[in-house]
Amino acid sequence: MTSPDQSTVFIIDDDLSIRESLQSLFQSVGQAAQTFETTREFLAAKRPDAPGCLVLDVRLPGGSGLEFQRELVSSGILMPVVFITGHGDIPMSVGAMKAGAIEFLTKPFRDQDLLDAVHKGIERDRERRREASSLQELRDRFRSLTPREREIMVLVAAGQLNKQVAAALQLSEITVKVHRGQVMRKMKARTLPDLVRFADRLEAEGLGRLADAEAAL
């Protein structure tokens, strides 16, 4: 496993020896790892802007790991979590998995299990970040549209023909065609289905109804 994109494992465990051993294990496979004694330390640290995965002991000073998992979600840190525990019971692991943990490993665990889980976590984070950044790009593209172009994009994405759009906006069909070409170019949509898909994603991801997007921007 290599981390060409600086992916990092974040280890939070109050036991120094566990932290040391985990860090050594990750480094031995070329995976960057940072260790923290407390959750507070982790939150205060400056984290690299790269895919990551959290390895969390269930028993932590100043609150259980499960609580911290919920805290992370509510504070917008969407990093995948792998739990390690000295005393795992089934209800606890079910709770952790339900809250979105990648894996729940009982100490002592097989190293490959941990590496696999962390790998899976990093991949998931990478995927999430890619998703997030492509969405961001879409937003930027959408922002670059003129108000007129946005109107036309909304109507076109809703399945209306040029003629209908022209009628609705009281424009000539030619003008609509020109604007539509601009929209396709600026949004980097090669085909109409592409544009419809982009519009759907923007609508789903917090921009509200695209029709009201003008007000939102």
Partner 1 sequence: MRDWNGEPPGDRLALLTTLPPGRGQLRLAGLVLLVLLAALLAAVPFARVPLPGTETLLQGYAVAVLTNEIITSVLLFGIYAVQRSPAVLALAVGYVFAALCIIPWLLTFPGVLAPNGLLGSKLQSTAWIAALRRLGFPAFVLAFALLGDRPPHGPRGSAKPVILTSLVATGAGVALFTWLVVAQESALPALMTASGPNALWLVVPAGAVLLCAIALVFLWRSRRTVLRLWLMVVVSAWMIETLLLGFISAGRLSLGWWAGRLYGLTAASLVLVVLLSEMTRLYAVLMRSVSAERHAREARLTTMEALAASVAHEVNQPLASMVTNANAGLRWLERASPDLGEARTALKRIVREGHRAGAVVEGIRSMFRRTGQDCGPVDVNDVLHDALDHATGELPPGRISVHLDLEDRIGPVVGNPVQLRQAVSNLITNAIDAMQTMEGRPRLLRVKSALRGGNEVLVSVEDSGPGLDPEYGQRVFEPFFTTKPDGMGMGLMIARSIVEGHGGTLWIGQSGPEGTIFCFTLPVAGGEAQPARRRT
| Interface contacts to partner 1, rule CB under 8 A | 15-18, 20-22, 24-25, 27-29, 59-64, 84, 86-87, 107-109, 111, 114
- Considering only CA atoms, which of 125, 143, 148 is closest in space to residue 198? 143
Which CB sits closer to partner 1, 89 or 212? 89
CB of 199 to partner 1, least distance (A): 48
In the chain, the amino acid numbered 100 is G
Query: On the CB side of 85, how many CA atoms lie within 13 Å of its CA?
Result: 18
CB of 115 to partner 1, least distance (A): 9
Which CB sits closer to partner 1, 63 or 208? 63
Which residues lie below 8 Å from residue 140, measured CB to CB, with a gap of 6+? Answer: none
Which CB sits closer to partner 1, 46 or 87? 87
CB of 201 to partner 1, least distance (A): 41
- 3-state DSSP call for residue 194? helix
- Considering only CA atoms, which of 107, 100, 93, 97 is closest in space to residue 22? 107
Which CB sits closer to partner 1, 72 or 138? 72
88 vs 17, 57, 59, 94, 126, CA distance in Å? Answer: 20, 11, 10, 10, 28
CB of 148 to partner 1, least distance (A): 57
For the chain, give me the number of helices (H) and strands (E)?
10, 5
CB of 134 to partner 1, least distance (A): 35
Which CB sits closer to partner 1, 87 or 98? 87
